[in-house]
Structure formats: C-alpha cells, structure tokens
Amino acid sequence: MVNAGSLYRRKTAGTSGATFDATELANWDPLSSLDQLQDRSGDMVVPTITTGTLPVNVVNGAAFDATLTENLTGVTYTWLPTATYPQFQTITVRLKQDATGGRTVNFGAFGTIIGDTPSLNLTANANPAALFNVVTFDGGASRYVLPILTDVAQEEIGRGAALPDPGTSTFDAYIVTGSAVESDGLWFRYSNQWILAKAAA
C-alpha cells in the first residue's frame, strides 16, 4: 500500500515506463523508514561496551561517543544498506576513559589502520582518550582507521634547520615557518615520513 504524503525510492534500477502495481511497489522503500532525506552526520550515538565489544550502528548516526568501562577488544558494525545509500560511508569515534582508567583498545578491530595507530590516553577520565575516523568505500566490507591529529606543535624551525626524524619526533604534526630547508606550511607524519599537507599561502 502506498501511503499518501510519503516519498519512496527504488531499491534497484528499474525500467522506464514500468506499471506501478503491487509487484513494482515491492521494489521500493519509503524514504521516511530509512531516513534517506536526513543528514545523519550530526547525529551522535552513545553506545555501551558489552563483554569487550562496541556496537557501531551507522543507521543511528555517524558520530560515536563511548566510555571505556572495560578493555575494548571487538567491534560489531551495522552499516547503511548499500542498495539505497552510497558505498562510501564515514564515521567519527571518540573514546573516553572511565574513572578507573587504564582501559586498552584493539584499534585493529575497527579496521585496517592507515599510518600510525591512534594514540590512547590511559589516564582516568581522559576525554578524549582516543579520537579517529573509520571509512569504507564498499559499504563496510573493508574498513580503514584514520587517526585524527590532536598533538600539533607550532614550531619556528630555525634557518637552515630541518624537521626532526619522523621516527623519533614527539609530535605528529608541525606548522613550519622560517625554515630555509623545509617549505612553510602544515606537515604531518604518515607512515614514518613527513608529508606537506597544506603549504603556506
């Protein structure tokens, strides 16, 4: 039955001029039931870790704010259906330590880590203890973990001086000004090398 005032979207590609009968209606989903007109990027979900596993249901939102009440060892995903949503989806995860602190995280459970593993603050009540993005290009079949830079040093690199060894640097990024060796701009550490992300204007 078609509900008056509801919007529908076809699950798969159809034939132009097809008769809209009961058979054809089965190929359509109400937009309201899947919230396809709503931008989910502003919806924050507060999931609970149970027996070490964090549930991540992207249907409910794209930002996840969880408190580490125990060690986090696993993640279960529910992604938006690719029949009606794009294959590319992205989420942001913020983890916080509880009053006990010292909770550990298996970041590999979220997906393949690109570059450095996200840093984890073990201090009690640390907020954020970790902050990172997870992206998929195939509806969740493959997932990639991208750390968010939270430790940036603004350095006046001396004339003739270079950026420090990325393997031993205290910081993940530098804002470089005044170096005769390096280009001015924002440099960040990726796979044990420095990359110029944004040149100075």
Q: What is the pLDDT of residues 56-70, one digit of tens each?
A: 998 888 889 999 999
175 burial via Cβ count (<10 Å: 0-12, 13-18, 19+): middle
pLDDT digit string (tens) for the chain, length 201 residues: 555 545 555 555 555 555 666 666 666 655 444 444 344 555 789 999 999 999 999 888 888 999 999 999 999 999 877 766 678 888 889 999 999 999 999 999 999 998 788 889 999 999 888 989 998 888 899 999 988 755 544 444 555 577 778 777 766 777 776 676 777 777 776 667 777 765 555
Neighbours of 139 (CB within 10 A): 16
Give whole-number Cα distances, 14 to 20, 23, 84, in Å: 11, 12, 13
Answering whether pTM is above 0.95, one says no
SS3 152: strand
Q: What is the pLDDT of residues 78-89, one digit of tens each?
A: 987 776 667 888
